[in-house]
Structure 1
Amino acid sequence: MLAELSIRNFAIIDELSVSFNKGLTVLTGETGAGKSIIIDAIGLLIGGRGSTEFVRYGTPKAEIEGLFHIHPEHRVYDKCGDVGISITDEMVVLKRDITDSGKSICRVNGKLVTLSVLKEIGQALVDIHGQHETQYLMQPDKHLFLLDSFGDRDFKEELVKYENAFKEYKDINKQLSELSRNEQEIAQRIDLLEYQLEEITSANLLTDEDVKLEDEKKMLSNFESIHEHLQDAYYSLYGEGKGLELVSKALEEFSQVAALDESLKTDEEQFGSSYYVLEELTYKIRDMFDSLEYNPDRLNHIEMRLDEISKLKRKYGNSVKDIIIYGDKISKELELIQNKDNHIEELKSKQSKILTKLSASGKKLTKKRIDTAKKLKNSIQQQLKELYMEKTEFEVIINQVDENQFLKTGMDNVEFYISPNQGEPLKPLSKVASGGELSRVILALKTIFSENQGITAIIFDEVDTGVSGRVAQAIAEKIYRVSVGSQVLCISHLPQVAAMADTHLHISKLAAQGRTVTKVLSLKTEEKVNEIGRMISGVEITDLTKKHAEELLQIAESIKKSS
């Protein structure tokens, strides 16, 4: 859910911070108070098109920041992971600045990202629907995904089988394509691979050889310093009156005391252990000192070997391990190309088998998709009926691609069609004109798909325009139902919708220090009654309108409990 929204220097908003809750939040207020400006800010936060007109006059930049709480299995984790953004404590923070020169600066969890990355992540979190906007549901290329998300477990298992078979099919095709290149390309490739393999093989590389050589080089390059320090360390410890002898004498003296005081026995043992460790270290230093030998020829050999390895790294990898792995890889590729005829026959045999498997899986998937489409149609028709559009027809059109053509998602193209008025032909949903009917259709679809889409927050910007009476009440109930599965923010002029709100925010504007500013107030019960009364009657609020408002709130509470 969208938990917090901060806006600075955006249009008529100087500084605004709004906390949002779960469920249905309704934003009301006079026309021009700034309700849609808040939604515009969220739209920009999730990657919408920016403009210098959004920057408050006289300020250098507009700043918008949003905090989202997300479920651990939300798809935004994968999207963030793909671009190297980490998510901690199940929170994502989006931030966007727009300067007065028109430049956009975008961040996700503090990391700078491009506008396209912000948009991809943002639109996985928020879906904004307004009267004149093209929405996710209005995009035909998204309809197949929506239909599939409505499928049951058997359907999804079949879809996974098909996708696995399709991946295997694509891999085989790629291998065949690589092996079927013209002879000149193959000959050139063989020459290159043989040269590279010979260069790597003749180097006789050993794993981590460069690391060990660097350590040895360091020792030889600092021979004099190492020799001097080892010598000083040894003679400081060993000899008459030196460190080791003094510690031995101290141990003897302490042992005399421990023999008289039983509580010091443990300390005596630790003292003794420390002495023997120090003695062992002294002998080790002596051995190191005795074995140390300066060898300029060995140093020269190491430097030449490291230079050879460095040249190979520039061509084949960042480490000796990477070079060895690359050598194994090109060795296999070389063997594959040199015996390509045999491999081609094997791959063609595999291709034939996987094609049979893919075709069978694709046909099963199509059948299950058709069954799913029927269930979806019935669900949508029921939703439309509840919105008093019982004469509206909804259809999921599934067109199969050519028999030998396979797509990543199956062998089908899917698009939603609708006929809002009885007697009219079905038309693509994306071609239906905007208006009150379209708003209800979109609301019906969102009621079905809100949970399946995985959207964190859904925003309705005056989708109830042009409706009243029983339709208004039906829309209010439907918006509330959507909010049960997803957080919903809704700008509305309908008192029925406002009454259903879990949180009611009133937006107003006022003059301060010669400038217009927008304010947001979370309404309490009595304030809700007054605001809903204003929405019912206009400016003058009578006892009758208050009573009507209270009645709407009671009805809404009853509907919520029954839901």
Structure 2
Amino acid sequence: MLDELHVSNVALIRDATLRPHEGLTVLTGETGAGKSALLSAIKLLMGERADASAVREGADALSVEGRFFLRGTDDPDGTVVSRRVSAQGHGRVSIDGRMASVRELAEGVGRTIDLCGQHEHQRLLQPQAHVELLDAWTGEGAARAREEYGVALAEARAAAAELERVREMTRSAADRLEEASFVVRKIDEVAPEEGELERIEELLPKAEHAEALVSAARGAHEALTGDGGVEDVVSSALSELRAAERYDEDLSPLVRQVEGALIEMEDAAAGLRDYADSVEFEPEDLRRMQERMAALQGLLRSYGPRMEDVCERRERAREVVAAASDGDKLLERARRELDAAEARLAEKADELDRVRAEAAPRFAGAVTEQMSLLEMGSAQLLIEMERLPRAQWGEQGPSRVELMYRPGAGLSARPLRKIASGGEISRVMLACKVVLGEADGTETLVFDEVDAGVGGSTAVALARVLARLAKTHQVIVVTHLAQVAVMGQAHYLVTKSGGDVPETTLSEISGEERVAEVARMLSGDTSPTSLEHAAEMLERAFGGSS
């Protein structure tokens, strides 16, 4: 939910703040007052493309800030996002004070807002979006069936790719058989074992320098323990210090240090002795190890640089050899796996179509019912499903799902995008939103002139439906209808001043100001009759509160 919107230097707006109600908020004003600039600001927070031409004349940059309280989060401070665009076209996005990308903005708060404008590229006119509407309304059943279908589709695509790989391998196997056989033979002659290279790399230096290692250990041992060695010298020094310690206790710490050093030397001498005894020097073992290392390094030079690469090369070569000698069996196995994957996919496709086909008339009927409340007469919304050829199956499913519009009971249904007028599409879209309720995942709905071409009893019906929608969504409506304006829990007036550089201002109105604005919308003036009528409309809408 949008809690607050602050706009600076966007088109004719120098500075404006909007604090929409959590229910229905209406924006009214004369044509050309600058309401479209507010919509442009909301679009920027949705992650849409920035345009430097939107920067107010004479300003260095525009900025839009918004605070959102998103469904499913309990942050008392909400999420604060901002968008800045310089007059040179450079942009900057931040979310809760940290730098972010436009894509992150679009995939975050942008997904919680749906701008439903008569002049926008509305989702309702895009057939690929129709299935999303149906699935959102159908709920968990459609989500589960679609997920299972998606898994089966991915498995079928993988099986098809594997069959093509085997076919290609089989086709070229004869040409590569001689080379592959040579590779398998050369690697199998060495037969490298897992971890063998690492073990030899660790042991070989020790084996190659065994004599030097033994000599060094024994020499050090002799230097420590031999006649006149370090231990004798330190022992003699320790005896003298112990004798002197009787006369001066300050020597005690030094005596302990020398005693510790002597103990460490004795331990080191024992360790050197054990080490020298442990080093085995077998010339034949060394020769075999060196030969093995040379063989492994030869494989690395030919097929490396890693032993994993050598093993992978052997497996690929074995496949080529197998394909040349047993290609038909490999192909048959790949075909069987593809057939099995396609059978699973067909089963999941049928299930997805069944779920949608069962839900489609109920969804269409619910939307049609709302359309009748919007004074659309006997017009109906229908959903047409057509199973596509297997080659055209995609992530959305195996069938084309499209909204069809029947203007009257005796007329044929045709695709909504081809037959409905702009005003009709706006009302059908509104009906869909009401039916979807909370299922569509959108928290804030912004309607731009959804009331175009509407008047009389239809205007009253439209206002009631918008008020009903505001029970499940935050709704912001730009309207020219007084019948809609009086239903808003919050009412903002958009005005434009004159001068060389016009300025659009935004102010929340109530009381007499709101009565006057509704009167203007009714008759274009604020005569006593218009004011009285406006006050009555607000009285009926809010029981005395305006």
TM-score w.r.t. length of structure 2 = 0.70
Shift of 1:500: 1.4
Does 1:355 pair with 2:345?
no
Shift of 1:128: 1.3
Alpha carbons 2:138, 2:359 under 8 Å: kept: yes
Determine the C-alpha separation between the residues in 2 that align with 1:90 and 1:316.
57
Query: Per the alignment, do residues 534 and 246 of structure 1 end up closer, same or farther by CA in structure 2, a change over 3 Å counting?
Result: farther
Gaps of 5+ in 2: 203-237, 243-247, 273-296
1:540 alignment partner, one of 501, 526, 544: 526
2:99 alignment partner, one of 102, 111, 117: 111
Query: Per the alignment, do residues 557 and 518 of structure 1 end up closer, same or farther by CA in structure 2, a change over 3 Å counting?
Result: same
Determine the C-alpha separation between the residues in 2 that align with 1:406 and 1:390.
37
Does 1:380 pair with 2:373?
no
Determine the C-alpha separation between the residues in 2 that align with 1:361 and 1:436.
39
CA RMSD of aligned residues (A): 4.8
Other-structure match for 2:506: 520
Query: Per the alignment, do residues 412 and 190 of structure 1 end up closer, same or farther by CA in structure 2, a change over 3 Å counting?
Result: farther
- Flag the structure with larger Rg: 2
Letter of the structure 1 residue corresponding to residue 35 of structure 2? K
Query: Per the alignment, do residues 199 and 64 of structure 1 end up closer, same or farther by CA in structure 2, a change over 3 Å counting?
Result: farther
Q: For 2:382, what is the secondary structure of its paired residue?
A: strand
Letter of the structure 2 residue corresponding to residue 469 of structure 1? G
Aligned length: 465
* Paired residues for 1:113-512 under 5 Å: 113=101, 118-119=105-106, 123-182=110-169, 187=176, 339=322, 341=327, 344-402=331-389, 406-421=393-408, 423-432=410-419, 434-449=421-436, 451-510=438-497
Alpha carbons 2:353, 2:399 under 8 Å: kept: yes
Does 1:552 pair with 2:537?
yes
Offset from partner CA, 1:254-278 (integer Å, 9 cap, x none) = xxxxxxxxxxxxxxxxxxxxx9xxx
Shift of 1:450: 5.0
Query: Per the alignment, do residues 196 and 55 of structure 1 end up closer, same or farther by CA in structure 2, a change over 3 Å counting?
Result: farther
Q: For 1:490, what is the secondary structure of its paired residue?
A: strand
Shift of 1:105: 4.2
Query: Per the alignment, do residues 56 and 328 of structure 1 end up closer, same or farther by CA in structure 2, a change over 3 Å counting?
Result: farther
Determine the C-alpha separation between the residues in 1 that align with 2:84 and 2:427.
35
Other-structure match for 1:320: none
Q: For 2:451, what is the secondary structure of its paired residue?
A: coil
TM-score w.r.t. length of structure 1 = 0.68
Gaps of 5+ in 1: 74-86, 211-238, 251-274, 293-308, 318-322
Determine the C-alpha separation between the residues in 2 that align with 1:170 and 1:525.
64
Alpha carbons 1:420, 1:437 under 8 Å: kept: no
Query: Per the alignment, do residues 53 and 410 of structure 1 end up closer, same or farther by CA in structure 2, a change over 3 Å counting?
Result: closer
Does 1:23 pair with 2:10?
no
Determine the C-alpha separation between the residues in 2 that align with 1:343 and 1:465.
65
Shift of 1:39: 0.7
Does 1:65 pair with 2:62?
no
Determine the C-alpha separation between the residues in 1 that align with 2:534 and 2:509.
14
Alpha carbons 1:377, 1:394 under 8 Å: kept: yes
Query: Per the alignment, do residues 152 and 533 of structure 1 end up closer, same or farther by CA in structure 2, a change over 3 Å counting?
Result: same
Q: For 1:6, what is the secondary structure of its paired residue?
A: strand
Determine the C-alpha separation between the residues in 2 that align with 1:285 and 1:456.
77
Alpha carbons 1:530, 1:541 under 8 Å: kept: no
Query: Per the alignment, do residues 183 and 509 of structure 1 end up closer, same or farther by CA in structure 2, a change over 3 Å counting?
Result: same
Query: Per the alignment, do residues 185 and 93 of structure 1 end up closer, same or farther by CA in structure 2, a change over 3 Å counting?
Result: farther
Determine the C-alpha separation between the residues in 1 that align with 2:340 and 2:115.
46
Query: Per the alignment, do residues 10 and 423 of structure 1 end up closer, same or farther by CA in structure 2, a change over 3 Å counting?
Result: same
Query: Per the alignment, do residues 54 and 155 of structure 1 end up closer, same or farther by CA in structure 2, a change over 3 Å counting?
Result: closer
Q: For 2:138, what is the secondary structure of its paired residue?
A: coil
Shift of 1:426: 2.4
Offset from partner CA, 1:66-106 (integer Å, 9 cap, x none) = 33332349xxxxxxxxxxxxx98895554433332334445
Determine the C-alpha separation between the residues in 2 that align with 1:88 and 1:462.
34
Determine the C-alpha separation between the residues in 2 that align with 1:412 and 1:362.
9
Query: Per the alignment, do residues 289 and 92 of structure 1 end up closer, same or farther by CA in structure 2, a change over 3 Å counting?
Result: farther
Q: For 2:111, what is the secondary structure of its paired residue?
A: coil
Determine the C-alpha separation between the residues in 1 that align with 2:446 and 2:495.
19
